[in-house]
Structures are given as C-alpha cells and as structure tokens.
Amino acid sequence: MDLLSYSAVELAAAIRAGEATAVQAMEAVLSKIDEKEEQINAYVTLDREAALKAAQKTQKKIEAGELTGALAGVPVAVKDNLCTKGMRTTCASKMLGNFIPTFSAQAVINLEQAGAVIIGKTNMDEFAMGSTTETSAYGETKNPYDFNHVPGGSSGGSAAAVAAGECFFALGSDTGGSIRQPASFCGVVGLKPTYGTVSRYGLVAYGSSLDQIGPLTKNVPDCAAVLEVLATQDAKDSTSIRREDTDFTSALTADVTGLRIGIPKDYFGEGLDAEVKEAVLAAAKALAEAGAVVEEFDLSLVKYAIPTYYTIAAAEASSNLERFDGVKYGFRATEFDGLHNLYKKTRSEGFGAEVKRRIMLGSFVLSSGYYDAYYLKALKVKAMIKQAFDDAFARYDLILGPVAPTTAPRLGESLSDPLKMYLGDIYTISVNLAGLPAISVPCGKDKAGLPIGVQLIADRFAEKTLLRAAYTYETLRGAFALCTDPCRGNMPLRRRTGRAASIEDTRFGD
C-alpha cells in the first residue's frame, strides 16, 4: 500500500478505518521529502521530529475518539505567510528570519481542529510579492515536473509540495493569482474562495482588500473538504463573512446539465500560448458535451485589470509593511544612527528588491498630489471591473478561461523584467479585484510535459457551482498523474478524453 497515492480525503478515511495511522502518513511524507526536497526546496522550515511528534499525538487522540474531524491525521504544508504558534514564520523574507509567532492563523487553527497535522512551512515569493517563488530570501523552489522551471508563485512551495507528494495538501494565499497560477504550473488543484470566506487573522498582510487564503490539493473533492474546514466566520477579521452554505462537499456531483458557461473572448487573444489555448478549450468542450451551455462573450475592461491591481496592491502593501521597522520583531540592522536611521537601515537591508519596488510604487501612488490620479482612479476602475463581472454573471453561472498565458517559465526568465512578469497575471487578477471565487484544475500538459490549468470563475458565494463544475470536469478528464518523475513524458489531454481539441471544431469557436 502506497499511502502517498491517497488523496487527503482518502487518507483520512483510511485512518478512520484503522487501515493506516497518522504516524505512517507523516513517515511517508517525510521519506518523500528526504528523497526530493534537496532538489525541489518546497519548504522553508521543517522540523521532522516535531512533525512526527505531532502525528503521534494526533493518532492517540484519534484512537481515543477525541479527534473525529474530516482531516484527522492528514499531514498538511502551510504557506510561510500564515502564522503558526511556536513555529518560525518568515514570509520568505530576511525581515522575519527569526520570527516565532505567539499565535496561529485562524485558518491553521481550523485545520488543526479538524485533525490535520502540520509538516512545515512552504516557500513563497517574499511577502507573497511575485509570480515565480524566485523572490524568496531562502532560495527558489523548483517545479517538480522540470527542475529548470519555476513552480509559479507566490504559493510556489505549497503547489510544488502537493505535486511532489511532499504533503497531502497545502494552504496558500491568493492576492492576484498566487494560489491558482502555481496550482496550474504544478498540475494540482487550487481554489481562491470568495473574499471574506476564510479568516485572514494571522495571515501576514500584503493587499488586505484582495488577500484570501485557500487550499492547494491533489483533486477537487479534497479541495471541497478543506474549504469546508476553512470557511468559518471569525470576529478577529472584520471582513470575515458569515456563510450558511459551507457544506461544500455536498456539491460534488458530476452534473453540469444546463449550466451556463461563458468564455471571455479577450482571454484567448494575443499573448496566449497555443498549447495552453488548445488544452483550455478542450476542457470547455468536454463540459459542453456533458450538457453545459458554453458560449463566448465580451468581458470588458480585461486589459485594465493589471494596472488597477498593481496600483491598489502596491498601495496596500506600502501601508501594511510599515510595521516592519526593527523594533517589535524580526530583523534589525546592526549599525544605525538614531531611531529614524534604524527604521531606514532595517528596512533597506531586510527587504528584497521586489518588495522595495512595490513599497515605493505604493508610497508614490498614495502620496499627496498623486493620490487622486492613481490610487483613487484605480479604485474607480475596480468598481467598473466588478460591474463587468456582475453583468457577466447575470448571463452565466461560470466563466471559463486559462489560468496563465503560458506554462511555467524557466528559472531566471521572469525577474529581469518585472512588468513582463506582472502581465502573466492577466487572467487571475480581476478575480481578486471583484472578490470572486475561482479554481484552477489541471487540464493537460504541453509538449515539454509541463502542466496546464483551466480556470473556472463563479459569482460571489457560488463556490458550490464552481466545485460542481470542477468536479464534473475532473471526472470527465480522468486521473491526472501527479508528478513522480520529472523526466516522465507527456500525457496529453486528448488521449484521456479520446478527443482532440481545436477552436475550429468547437461550436463556441470563432
């Protein structure tokens, strides 16, 4: 029995049935980590003994009948911008290299209450700012499918850990695509919930009005099960929302009959890689053949999402990251002259280039004289983008498109040109601006064997529709082999679905 082939839900069931133990599951994960971690570098902080001890403790509680949660005994990896009590939390920054939180994020507490066991903390772009996990102060994470490529970001460590079998599922955070894009690049499922569904308490803030925590999993049922555990209202996060319909696993039925799916024409234009386009349209076709009503439409304002996002996110980041001043926690410069100089030197030495870039841009767009022209303007365009989605969801239940314009870029290719890297967020970013839920599901691989994801977007609070469609597609697609060997060949979608895809032979094509 290879425990690592189990999904999180399957593992929990096996542990409940006494066929496996939490300790065996943790041992399996740790041995995979021993085998792969040196090359992949998915984790920033990992304490093998502590993880094993936690698994032993959990197993005892399961046997005593004290722990009956849906995820009891399942090892989980947590993105390193989520506070974990007593466990170092760095945000992949030198600034927090020695920071030990005195409390855990509510999302982490929810997981622990459901019986999940934390393995360690996963690598990310510094303070979640980046799309490749290369801005980490602790080395880049490699894509498990090809070590010469990035895993995506900013939750790249979480996505790589799930893909490589270095955990059974992981937590990430998504401010502009940071769960969905690495999920797509690493061939795993990633979901960004409706804003306010998961408490942000204990998540180190980047862009507070956009940040949302969510799961990265091996399949859609795991995703629903984890979301069910995460989605609770929390008085400690004033933007947290009370939701009545959090029985997400009940939505896992393979039926999309009559579901109206819109495909934004603007998502398939210039800049989209041909292989990505083909795989994503094949997924749309599969859903259409299963009874969904799929058609193209014009989602306006698409090209304005990136400038709007980077203005708002940078503004919020410049404010949120003011707290890192070398006084209360984290890094402090060794040489300084007075308090003000202490702040400046600490921040200059503690932050990496991308973080400084965004703090400076944010400070500028919020400064007097420019506030109206940039920040306020962006907030107005954000309102217009939300309206465009409201109009779309008056006609459609779901929007379907790519997650990213390409498959995972090669290491080192993105950082030389920040603006080019930002443009890669084109299909994910407006979802955060409008507060919508969206999921990335693997839908194929390119010729080089790198995974491709299809993105489904739903209206606010419509996670159940989202999960139902994602589950239906996953069932139609069949098993998507998680990465076991980076040299493994391509397994294109057409072989599994028995049909080739091209826009020409889709009835919603142009």
Partner 1 sequence: MANIISDETIEYVGILAKLALSDEEKEQAKKDMGRMLDYIDQLGELDTSGVEPMSHVFPVENVFREDVVVNGDGSSETLCNAPEEKDNMFVVPRTI
- Pick 293 or 376: Cβ nearer partner 1: 376
Active site residue 154: yes
In the list 12, 29, 107, 306, the residue contacting partner 1 (rule: CB under 8 A) is 306
In angstroms, the CA 78 to CA 111 distance is 10
290 lines the binding site for partner 1 (CB under 8 A) = no
**According to CB under 8 A, which one of 380, 395, 410, 499 is a site residue for partner 1?**
380
**Which residue among the candidates 104, 178, 184, 440 is catalytic per the annotation?**
178
Query: Should residue 131 be labelled a site residue for partner 1 when binding is judged by CB under 8 A?
Result: no
Binding test (CB under 8 A) with partner 1, winner from 318, 428, 430, 465: 318
CB of 501 to partner 1, least distance (A): 33
Q: Which is nearer to partner 1, 376 or 476 (CB)?
A: 376
Among 68, 113, 348, 502, binds partner 1 (CB under 8 A): 348
Write down the residue that tokens 């962006």 correspond to.
378
Among 17, 419, 479, 487, binds partner 1 (CB under 8 A): 419
301: phi > 0 → left, psi -120 to 50 → alpha, else beta; which? left
Task: Please report whether residue 347 would count as binding partner 1 according to CB under 8 A.
Answer: yes
How many residues form the binding site for partner 1 (CB under 8 A)? 69
Active site residue 131: no
Residue that has been written with the tokens 């507060």 in this structure: 435
In degrees, rounded to 5, the angle at the alpha carbon of residue 377 between the alpha carbons of residues 374 and 381 is 130
Q: Interface with partner 1 includes 460 (CB under 8 A)?
A: yes
Q: Which of 332, 413, 475, 509 binds partner 1 (CB under 8 A)?
A: 332
Residue 360 or 448 with smaller CB distance to partner 1: 360
Q: How far is CA 268 from CA 76, 115, 358, 389, in A?
A: 35, 42, 29, 17
CA–CA gap between residue 329 and residue 337 (Å, rounded): 19
The answer to whether the beta carbons of residues 77 and 112 sit under 8 Å apart is no
Residue 178 appears among annotated catalytic residues: yes
Q: Which residues, in sequence order, are CB contacts of 483 under 8 Å at separation 6+? A: 144, 145, 163, 164, 165, 186, 187
Burial label for 42, CB within 10 Å (0-12, 13-18, 19+), is buried
Q: Which two tokens stand for residue 408?
A: 């995972």
Ranges within 391-410 binding partner 1 (CB under 8 A): none
d(CA 325, CA 304): 34
Which two three-digit tokens encode residue 10? 């399957």
Closest approach of Cβ 173 to partner 1, in Å?
Answer: 17
Least Cβ distance, residue 458 to partner 1 (angstroms): 14
Strand 189-192 to 212-217 pairing? antiparallel
Residue 177 interacting with partner 1 (CB under 8 A) = no
Which residue's CB is nearer to partner 1, number 182 or number 207? Answer: 207
Shortest separation between residue 365's beta carbon and partner 1, angstroms: 8
What residues have CB less than 8 Å from 22, skipping those under 6 apart? 15, 55, 56, 58, 59, 62, 72, 73, 74, 75, 117
Three-class DSSP category at 198 = coil
DSSP state letter for 75: E
Shortest reach from residue 61's CB to partner 1, in Å: 24
Query: In this chain, which stretch among 19-27, 223-231, 238-246, 485-493 interacts with partner 1, using CB under 8 A?
Result: 238-246
Binding stretches for partner 1 (CB under 8 A): 98-100, 102, 195-196, 209, 235, 238-239, 241, 301, 303-304, 306-308, 310-311, 318, 322, 325-332, 336, 338-345, 347-348, 351, 356-357, 359-367, 374, 376-384, 386, 418-419, 433-435, 460
Residue numbers annotated as active site: 79, 154, 178
